[in-house]
Amino acid sequence: MRPKTQTVTRLDYCQYLLVSQINYTLTNFAEHSEKFSHDALNRYVAGERLPPKLTWENVKGQVIQTPKGFLVFDDTVADKNHSHEIELVRRQYSGNAHGVIKGIGIVTCVYVNPDLDQFWIIDYRIYDPDGDGKNKLDHVQDMLLNCVHQKQLQFWAVLMDSWYATKEIMLAIEKYQKIYYCPLKDNRQVDDSGGSQSYRRVDALAWTAAEKQSGKLVKIKGFPGDHKVKLFRVVLSTKRTDYVVTNDMAQDNTQAVQEVCGFRWKVEQFHRETKQLTGLEGCQCRKARIVRNHIACAILVWVRLKQVAHETQQTVYRLKHGLLSDYLRQQLKSPVIQMSFA
């Protein structure tokens, strides 16, 4: 057997993540590669530095901007519940798991073109408060600032969940003269009486028939002076009601608010696809630098899968699983292991 001596590149590592179906470890890569040893692979991922800005550099030529665009902020947790001594892992709440788990937090920013019903990942940050002193809210503010000043993206509104519906973020969005739509937590204190009554939980407010259809003005506790926002009661099911606030004072239709907020689920789609198709959670190496580089490559792989899927009018799932279909056809035609009976 010829020695595996070739130098690993980012393209090589991403190609592995793109074609592998289940196992995304360095050991699996080395065992199936004719060119790269495990030591060479480890040297690459430990010595490389792949910052989040690489995502934008690779996707910006694909993004179709529109003045009606949305920025969607959210976070996900790469599950490491059964892993030990991996740097960047910390206990944190996971919406997917509906509880606190051990994992690596990733704060993401997706750009949505609602006219085309297309979306692109444009930025992300690794949640590492011990390393950089920043919480998830800080990361959202940093990415928002970057979208406005560095990327100079065209967008109309920012969508985010209740975790990010803070005074600081909402006022920052207003400072950039943009719109926001975000649900409030049920216990958020608001006033719909114009100051004649005390603040109440948002889920304890009374609603007239007209307000249910057109929303109403409220003041959120802690906001400056007479700063008010529009509040909408969005009934999603018999078991779930969202209380959505916006600074879009011209908005007067609850159904339209629900449709706008529906675009927020594009970021959930991105999270699901990266975890299921690119090995985002698959790195078992302990060092933070390796984990960061693996996540960067996994996101770049999703960018490529999404691009090809759009060009070929397929889903990313059909595209990735099609690699297995090709293998199955090959094995049915000329099987490596022949079936036999006694």
pLDDT digits (tens, 9 = 90+) for 295-334: 999 999 999 999 999 999 999 999 999 888 888 888 888 8
Across residues 261-277, what is the average pLDDT?
96
Specify the pairing of strand 229-237 against strand 240-246. Answer: antiparallel
Which residue carries 């902020």 as its tokens? 73
Across residues 68-80, what is the average pLDDT?
93
Average pLDDT of the chain to the nearest whole number:
93
Asked if the model's pLDDT at residue 180 lies above 60, the reply is yes
Report the range of poorest mean pLDDT among 156-165, 260-269, 323-332. 323-332
Strands (E), 185-288: 189-191, 200-201, 216-220, 229-237, 240-246
Residues 230-259: tens digit of each pLDDT: 999 999 998 899 999 999 999 999 999 999
Q: Is 286 exposed, middle or buried (0-12, 13-18, 19+ CB in 10 A)?
A: middle
Q: What SS3 class is residue 330?
A: helix
Across residues 73-79, what is the average pLDDT?
92
For residue 2, what pLDDT band results from cuts at 50, 70 and 90? low
For residue 211, what pLDDT band results from cuts at 50, 70 and 90? very high
Provide the percentage of residues in the chain whose pLDDT is more than 70.
97
Pair 298, 124: CB distance under 8 Å: no
Query: Could you state, in order of their start, the residue ranges of all structural domains in the chain?
Result: 180-262
Pair 141, 168: CB distance under 8 Å: yes
Report the range of poorest mean pLDDT among 33-37, 115-119, 154-158, 261-265. 33-37
For residue 290, what pLDDT band results from cuts at 50, 70 and 90? very high
Report the range of poorest mean pLDDT among 25-39, 122-136, 197-211, 292-306. 25-39
Q: pLDDT: is 3 or 342 the higher one? A: 342
Across residues 58-66, what is the average pLDDT?
97
CB atoms under 10 Å from CB of 208, counted, come to: 9
CA-closest candidate to residue 111, choices 174, 67, 149: 67
Which tokens hold the place of 327? 């293998």
pLDDT at 88: 86
Cα separation, 95 vs 28, in Å, equals 30
pLDDT at 195: 87
Report the range of poorest mean pLDDT among 45-54, 76-85, 149-158, 256-265. 76-85
CA-closest candidate to residue 114, choices 158, 60, 70, 62: 70
∠119-121-127 over CA atoms, to 5°?
140
Strands (E), 238-335: 240-246
pLDDT at 244: 98
Q: Is 309 exposed, middle or buried (0-12, 13-18, 19+ CB in 10 A)?
A: middle
Asked if the model's pLDDT at residue 91 lies above 90, the reply is no
Pair 231, 218: CB distance under 8 Å: yes
pTM over 0.75: yes
Distances (CA, A) of 74 to 69, 94, 168, 221, 226: 16, 11, 16, 24, 29
